[in-house]
Chains A and B, each alone.
Chain A
Amino acid sequence: MNLTLFVWRQRNGQEDGSFHRFELQGVSEDSSFLEMLDLLNLQLVEKGESPVAFEHDCREGICGSCSMTINGRPHGPKRLTTACQLHMRNFSDGDTIYIEPFRAKAFPVIKDLVVDRSAFDRIQQAGGYISVNTGAAPEANSIPVEKDLSDEAFDAAACISCGACVAACPNGSAMLFTSAKVAHLGLLPQGQPERSSRVLNMVRQMDAETFGGCTNHGECQDACPKGISIKYITRMNRDFIVANIKRGLSLRGKMQSQ
Chain B
Amino acid sequence: MQLKLDSKVPAGPLEQKWTKHKAHMKLVNPANKRKHSVIVVGTGLAGGAAAASLGELGYKVKAFCFHDSPRRAHSIAAQGGINAAKNYRNDGDSVYRLFYDTVKGGDFRAREANVHRLAELSVNIIDQCVAQGVPFAREYGGLLDNRSFGGAQVSRTFYAKGQTGQQLLLGAYAALNRQIHAGAVEMHTRSEMLDLIMIDGRCRGVVVRNLRTGEISSHIADAVVLATGGYSNVYFLSTSAKNCNVTAIWRAYKHGAGMANPCFTQIHPTSIPVSGEHQSKLTLMSESLRNDGRVWVPKAAGDKRSPSAIPESERDYYLERRYPSYGNLSPRDIASRAAKERCDAGYGVGPMGLGVYLDFSDAIKRLGVDTIAARYGNLFDMYANISGENPYEAPMRIYPAPHYTMGGLWVDYNLMTTIPGLFAAGEANFSDHGANRLGASALMQGLADGYFVIPYTIGDYIAQTKSAAVPTDHPEVKAALERVTRRTERFLGMRGRKPVDHYHRILGRLMWDRCGMSRTAQGLREAITRIAELREEFWTNSFVGGSGTEINQELEKAGRVADFFEFAELMCIDALDRNESCGGHFREEYQTEDGEALRNDADYCYAAVWSTKEGGEGHELTKEPLTFENVELATRSYK
Contact = CB atoms under 8 A, between A and B. Distances in A.
A126 B142 CA distance: 30
Contacts of B175: 129, 132, 134
Contact of B67 (A57, A130, A158): A57
A42 interface: yes
B136 to A, nearest CB: 8
A44 B423 CA distance: 41
A124 B181 CA distance: 9
A38 B53 contact: no
A144 B143 contact: yes
A45 B129 CA distance: 45
A35 B175 CA distance: 35
Given A35-B280, A118-B68, A154 B160 contact: yes
Given A85-B386, A129-B132, A48 B545 contact: yes
Interface string B243-277: 10000000000000000000000000000000111
Contact of A157 (B167, B180, B455): B167
A153 B135 contact: yes
A188 B135 CA distance: 8
Q: Is the interface of A mostly helix, strand, loop or mixed?
A: loop
Interface stretch (B106-114, B466-474, B550-558): B550-558
Contacts of A48: 543, 545
Interface stretch (A61-69, A92-100, A165-173, A243-251): A61-69
A147 B388 contact: no
Nearest to A140: B130
A255 interface: no
B86 A111 contact: no
Interface stretch (A25-33, A214-222, A229-237): A25-33
A257 interface: no
Contact of B276 (A28, A42, A130): A28
A188 B142 CA distance: 12
B23 to A, nearest CB: 15
Contacts, number: 222
A34 B132 contact: no
Given A117-B68, A143-B130, A190-B131, A31 B177 contact: no
A118 B131 CA distance: 26
A11 interface: yes
A141 B163 contact: no
Interface string B140-156: 11111000000000000
A31 B279 CA distance: 7
Contacts of A153: 133, 135
Contact of B72 (A57, A135, A157): A57
Given A87-B386, A129-B178, A134-B451, A57 B243 contact: yes
5 contacts: A35-B280, A59-B241, A140-B130, A147-B142, A190-B133
Interface of B: 49, 52-53, 56, 67-72, 74, 76-77, 86, 88, 124, 126-133, 135-144, 160-161, 163, 165-167, 170, 173-175, 177-178, 180-181, 187, 189, 212, 241-243, 275-281, 283-284, 381-382, 385-386, 388, 451-452, 455, 497-499, 501-502, 543, 545-546, 550-551, 553-554
Interface of A: 11-12, 27-28, 30-32, 34-36, 38-39, 41-42, 45-46, 48-51, 53, 55-65, 80-81, 85-87, 89, 110-111, 114, 116-118, 120-121, 124-141, 143-147, 150-151, 153-154, 157-158, 160-161, 184-185, 188, 190-191
